[in-house]
Each structure stands twice: as structure tokens, then as C-alpha cells.
Structure 1
Amino acid sequence: MTALKAAFPHTLPVLTGYLFLGTAFGVLLGSKGYSLGWAILMSTIIYAGAGQFVAIGLLTTAFNPLYAFIITLVVNARHLFYGISLLNRVSGIGRKKSYVAFGLTDETFSILCSTEAPDGVDRSWFMFFITLLDHGYWIAGSALGVVLGAMVDFNAKGIDFVMTALFVVIFIEQWKSQQYHGPAIIGIATSTVCLLLFGSNNFIIPAMLAIVLVLILCKKTLERRTAA
């Protein structure tokens, strides 16, 4: 309970965002004829915001397993890099590591990277409850969206843009919290180049690989300037 109480305040921004994002997902899913049970099941088992928005399209078209695998991999490939960068942080937390890995989202990753467990609070339970609370917020938002969507009749076209909006807000907050913006600028520049070279449908994985490569090559310079 001590760890839960310590984790909760750090997840409040995610609570606000996930209620709106989850509601958008629920509304969109409900508009395609899927019930409350589907929303809860998808948000519990899949638990991938952008991936779930993509899944709605996959559910409403002819099923192609290979295409579904590739598009899901592309959309969520960034989680591979999240997991690698968290290896040191999750070491020593025992069986909770499996759930923390499963529940790793952009927002949870941001909190786990920037927040330390307070003195006297078990680190493994602290990380576990941050992940669990964020997961619960997403499930609640998804369920709320289906219910509200069934009560109000409106055109849901374009509502999935809320995911893009959230990523922009996260980037702005990360930018404001840091004095040195070298890594962020590298990310923007590298992604822009890959977008021009590979096109909007194929640039995500090349961009991520290129960003990692550039960051590794510039590691010492970036660390020195960040310290300064």
C-alpha cells in the first residue's frame, strides 16, 4: 500500500490523458459495431494505444495474418528500444519484471525513466503499481468510450488523431524538462531524413535504427554537453 500511494501521484497526468485517449478508442470501436466487452478485452490483453487504433481497421477488413503482424511490428517497434533502455532499471525486481515489460507504454516508460522510488518504498512494487495504474486508466477510458459512444450519435471520423496529439504533448513536456536538446534534435532531424527517403508508410523502423546509431556514435559528445 505504501508503494501504491507513492506511485499514484506520478500517474495522474497519464490518468487524464488515458481517459481521453481511451474514450476516443472506445468511441471509434463502438462505432464499428463492437461491444463493451470487446473494448475491455482488447485494452486488457493488447494494451497498445496506437496498436489498438490500427487493430480497429484490421478487424473491419479481410483478415491477413502476415499484414497484421507486420503493421503491428512497425507501429510498436519503438517498444523494443524502450525495453533495452530499461534493462538496468528492471533488474532485481523479480517476477514483476514480466508485467512491467507487458505494460510498457510511452507514458509509463517516461515515468519509469524519470522517477525514482521514494525513500522507504520498495522499488519493484513502485514500478509495478505505476504500470498497473496506467493499465487500469486505459481500460477504464476504453470502456467509458464505448458507453458514451452508444449514448451519443456523432461522426467519429478523425478521432484517432488524439494519439498523435498525445505524442506531441509528451515531446513538448520532455523538451521543456531538459536544458540540453541535442538528442531531441537528432531524433527530429533523423526522422525527417528517413521520412523523405522512405515515405510516410515505411520510415518508422529505419528512423529508429538510424536514431540509435547516431546516438551511439555521438554518445560521448552528448554526455559531455548534457553534463555541462
Structure 2
Amino acid sequence: MSLPYAWKEAGKLTLPVMFGYLPLGAAYGILAVEVGVPWWAAVMMSLVIYAGAGQFLAVALLAAGAGLMELAVATLMLNSRHLFYGLSLLKRFQGAGWRKPYLIFALTDETYSLITTLPAERAGDQALAFRVSLLNQAWWVLGSIAGVLAGSTLAFDSRGIEFALTALFIVLTLEQARRLRRWLPFAIAMMTGLGALLLLPDRHLLLGAIGAASLILLLHYRHVQRREANA
């Protein structure tokens, strides 16, 4: 496969993420400038942190005068979900060589969704996964730069623009459901999400929902293994 075609293929795969990351990155850039974060620091966060919702959280906490420890703990809690779904890519990233550190660094929710829904014959293509990861970060950085420029030069009403993140998650979930055609993971996600929303305080909602879903999936996996062993 020629190099231009390979990048074109990755570009087509990342189009849904691009349409989400450009406005969402712009929203982040605008909010960062509004709360007093220097433009260069806002862009640098997108380059070396690249944490989407974590960056929105960091901006909000900085605006509220939070300390470094509060910022670190809150970010750890928010991004703890990576501990759960990152484990499922250990085998896929074996043999990735020099690409592996960046593949781990750039593993966002959206990148995970794209990598795990690649066709079976491309599932082990680490070069494609690398290109997808790099392009996704490029869309986020470009959006951040556009937001910083807009926030520095224009009067902008940013209310509601953060909904772009929720909208992007909905689109990717529907795309995964269409490709996988397996109802169980989505039913478990819905049940644990609603249960956490009803039973847990906001600060524990995400971690509780992810932990419950992971436990249910683990129990289901063990049940299937026992059933196959006894068959």
C-alpha cells in the first residue's frame, strides 16, 4: 500500500472524530482563553496532555483557583476509565515497536472506538492504528488553535458548546453498535450508567459505572468459559 493511500485511508476512518474534535477543541481553546490560560499553554496542553474532557476539567479547576494536588486527583479520577479499556489492547499493541509509546499516549475514547472496530483483516495493523491516533490528535490540536485564536480576537458566547463531546460519544456508540451487532455490552453500559446516575454522587459516577460494567463483563466472560468447558 502506497504511503499517500495509507494516510487517505486513515483520514477517511477519522472523519467522524474530525467533525467532533474540531468544534470541541475550539470550545476548549475559547474557554481556556476566557478563564485566563495563556494561549501557548492552552495549545501545549493539547500537544502534551491531550485529554479531551480532562482538559475541560483542568480549565474549570484553574478558573476556580484549584491547587496542583486537586487538579491531579480530579484528572486521575476522570481518566481512570483508561485503566479498564486500555487492558483490552495489550495484545493488539504487541510488536508495535517505536509506535507503541505514542499509541498508548494517544489512546482517547474516540481512538479506542475506531481501533477496536477495524475490520478483522486490519485489526492487527499497528501502522494504521498509529496513523489514526496521530490524525485524531491533529484534529484536536487544530481545533484548539482555532479556539485560542477565536477567543483572543472575537467576542464569543460559548454557552452550550461543550455538548459537542456528548454528541460525539453518541455518534461513536451508534457506529460501534452498527458494526458489532452485539446488544449485551450496550445493555450493560446503559444499565450501569443509569444505576450510577441514580445511586452515586456526581464525583463517583463515572468510576462507579465503569467498575460495575467491568465486573459484570468479567462475570459474563467466566460464565461463558465454564459453559464452553462443560460442553
Taking structure 2 as the reference length, the TM-score comes to 0.86
Give the secondary-structure state (helix, strand or coil) at the position aligned to 2:136: helix
> How far apart in 2 are the matches of 1:159 and 1:166?
12
1:177 is matched with which residue? 179
Give the secondary-structure state (helix, strand or coil) at the position aligned to 2:82: helix
Q: Out of 49, 54, 67, which is 1:51 matched to? A: 54
Asked if 1:65 is matched to 2:68, the reply is yes
2:143 is aligned with what amino acid? G
Aligned 1:60-139 pairs, distance under 5 A:
60-116=63-119, 123-139=125-141
Matched residue count: 222
Q: State the 1:133 CA deviation.
A: 0.8
> How far apart in 2 are the matches of 1:102 and 1:117?
24
1:162 is matched with which residue? 164
Q: State the 1:221 CA deviation.
A: 6.6
> How far apart in 1 are the matches of 2:179 and 2:8?
24
2:11 is matched with which residue? 8
Bigger Cα displacement from structure 2, 4-13 vs 91-100: 4-13
Give the secondary-structure state (helix, strand or coil) at the position aligned to 1:156: coil
Q: 1:16 to 1:29 in 2, by over 3 A?
A: same
Asked if 1:40 is matched to 2:43, the reply is yes
> How far apart in 2 are the matches of 1:15 and 1:36?
22
Q: 1:7 to 1:65 in 2, by over 3 A?
A: same
Contact 2:31 2:158 in 1 (8 A): yes
Unaligned regions of 5+ residues in structure 2, if any?
none
Indicate the percent of aligned positions where both proteins have the same amino acid: 39
Asked if 1:202 is matched to 2:208, the reply is no
Asked if 1:190 is matched to 2:192, the reply is yes
